[in-house]
């Protein structure tokens, strides 16, 4: 049998219909797209834990090329969208720049209220229906996880303390650039019974208890030294660069999402390194903006003012 490329369709976590690449082989269709890099494959973990050697699990199949597993449909379709974002916007072929295969597993764990990049693949929990719906149901989350793979193959920011907060912020930043209708993270899958809330906010990190100024950074040991907490400081800086605003008396004139994304992509892939601090982040963003737009550009000024506004000088 040859493995023929096909177009499948299915219903996502939120009940929306979408199409995506599948492969036909031996009378069966598989959640396996072949046109992007070395391919995109989506598997069923059958409740195996994210640490289980049973991962990735079974490649998800259908005899009709119609897929009814919402978590699988979204994990697969959103992986395509994130691949396309990095290829078309930044010229990057998959997360490693070399077409690496993108592998996901859904139904990981039992009612697991989380998701992750485990170094080799993406894994998604189903949530317990109260804290989360199946987490692949939000494009933010898929883009966040795949961006961890981009970071790991570029700056490789150490996942603790300040470098870890920057690692987290890079994932939130590109999640917001891909799922570009707002500056919230996880809003589509977080607390299904509570409308309008999110896991994190980049426009107002404090709305969810995260710091929006360096003087308010968490210095304890929880969460690998607050990687999902102190990310709020850099997330706010990114928001200010893109949208502008006055923060703790410092005014920033926004330059828009697209230029902001280019600055952070260049900072991440050229200037940041494993032990980068927030001070290094400011310098990397200033240098990236200088390379792209010139030393005396409004883009460079926006970067400088945004980092001053969040207390990183
Ligand atoms: O990628 C990441 O940074 C997070 C990876 C979490 C993880 C780490 C190590 C092993 C397993 C899982 C997953 C996400 C996250 O931000 N998790 C946070 C918030 C969170 C999600 N579910 C939770 C349940 C309890 C407490 C906190 C959480 C965390 O794990 O802290 C990213 C987008 C949405 C979920
Ligand atoms: Ca969002
Ligand atoms: Zn993360």
Mutate to test the pocket of ligand 1, among 74, 114, 199 (most ligand atoms within 8 A of CB): 114
Q: What distance in Å separates the CA atoms of residue 165 and residue 232, rounded to the nearest whole number?
A: 8
User: Residues 250, 309: contact at Cβ < 8 Å?
Assistant: yes
Check residue 164 and give its pLDDT.
99
CA of 116 to the centre of ligand 1 (A): 7
Segment 64-84 shows an average pLDDT of 98
Rounded to a whole number, what is the largest CA-CA distance in the chain?
66
| Whether pLDDT at 1 is above 80 | no
Q: How far is the CA of 224 from the centre of ligand 1 (A)?
A: 12
**Which whole number is the average pLDDT over 178-190?**
97
The rounded distance, in Å, linking the Cα atoms of 163 and 273 is 9
pLDDT digits (tens, 9 = 90+) for 243-274: 999 999 999 999 999 999 999 999 999 999 99
Is 145 designated active site? yes
Catalytically annotated residue among 43, 107, 228, 247? 228
Listed residue (138, 142, 116) closest to 40, CA to CA: 142
21 is catalytic: no
* Residues pairing with 247 in the sheet: 250
CA of 178 to the centre of ligand 2 (A): 9
Q: What are phi and psi of 39, to 5 degrees?
A: 115, 160
Q: What's the ipTM?
A: 0.98
From residue 149, give the alpha-carbon distance in Å to each of 121, 142, 152, 164, 243: 8, 11, 5, 14, 27
Contact assessment for residue 260 and residue 176, using Cβ atoms and an 8 Å cutoff? no
Closest residue (by CA) to atom 10 of ligand 1? 116
Atom of ligand 1 nearest to the CA of 168: 3
Per the rule left: phi > 0, alpha: psi between -120 and 50, beta: everything else, 196 is left
Instruction: Find out whether the beta carbon of 116 lies less than 6 Å from any atom of ligand 1.
Output: yes
Dig out the tokens for 158 from the structure. Answer: 């150490």
Name the closest ligand to CA 201: 2
pLDDT of residue 100: 98
For residue 186, give the ligand 1 atom closest to its CA: 34
| CB-side neighbour CA atoms (13 Å) of 173 | 32
Q: How many CB atoms lie within 10 A of CB 190?
A: 23
- Average pLDDT of the segment spanning 134-154: 98
**Mean pLDDT in residue range 38-51:** 98
Of ligand 1's listed atoms, the one at least distance from the Cα of 50 is: 11
- Nearest-CA residue for atom 29 of ligand 1: 228
In this structure, are residues 161 and 224 in contact, taking their beta carbons and an 8 Å threshold? yes
- Minimum CA distance residue for ligand 1 atom 34: 141
- Tell me the per-residue pLDDT of 18-27, one tens digit each, with 9 for 90 and over: 999 999 999 9
Please write the tens of the pLDDT for every residue from 214-252.
999 999 999 999 999 999 999 999 999 999 999 999 999
CA distances from 60 to 18, 75, 304 (A): 16, 11, 48
Task: Output the pLDDT for position 2.
Answer: 79
Closest atom of ligand 1 relative to the 223 alpha carbon:
31
């Amino acid at each position: 049998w040859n493995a023929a490329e096909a177009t499948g369709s299915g219903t996502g976590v939120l009940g929306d219909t979408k199409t995506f690449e599948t492969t036909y082989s031996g009378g069966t269709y598989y959640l396996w797209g072949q046109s992007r890099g070395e391919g995109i494959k989506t598997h069923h973990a059958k409740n195996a834990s994210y640490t289980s050697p049973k991962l990735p699990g079974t490649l998800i199949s259908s005899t009709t090329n119609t897929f009814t597993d919402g978590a699988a449909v979204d994990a697969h379709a959103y992986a395509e969208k994130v691949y396309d974002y990095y290829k078309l916007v930044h010229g990057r072929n998959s997360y490693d720049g070399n077409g690496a295969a993108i592998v996901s597993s859904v139904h990981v764990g039992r009612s697991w209220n989380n998701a992750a990049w485990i170094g080799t693949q993406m894994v998604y929990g189903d949530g317990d229906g109260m804290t989360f719906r199946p987490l692949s149901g939000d494009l933010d989350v898929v883009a966040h996880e795949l961006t961890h793979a981009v970071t790991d193959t570029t700056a490789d920011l150490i996942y603790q303390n300040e470098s870890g907060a920057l690692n987290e912020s890079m994932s939130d930043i590109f999640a917001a650039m891909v799922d570009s209708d707002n500056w919230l993270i996880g809003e589509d899958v977080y607390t299904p019974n509570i409308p309008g809330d999110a896991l994190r906010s980049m426009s107002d990190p404090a709305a969810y208890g995260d710091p929006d100024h360096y003087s308010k950074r968490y210095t304890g040991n929880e969460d690998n030294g607050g990687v999902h907490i102190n990310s709020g400081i850099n997330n706010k800086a990114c928001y200010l660069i893109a949208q502008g605003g006055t923060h703790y008396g410092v005014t920033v004139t926004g330059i828009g999402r697209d230029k902001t994304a280019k600055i952070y992509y260049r900072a991440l892939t050229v200037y940041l390194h494993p032990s980068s601090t927030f001070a290094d982040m400011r310098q990397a963003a200033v240098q990236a903006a200088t390379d792209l737009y010139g030393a005396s550009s409004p883009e460079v000024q926006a970067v400088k003012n945004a980092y001053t506004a969040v207390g990183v000088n």
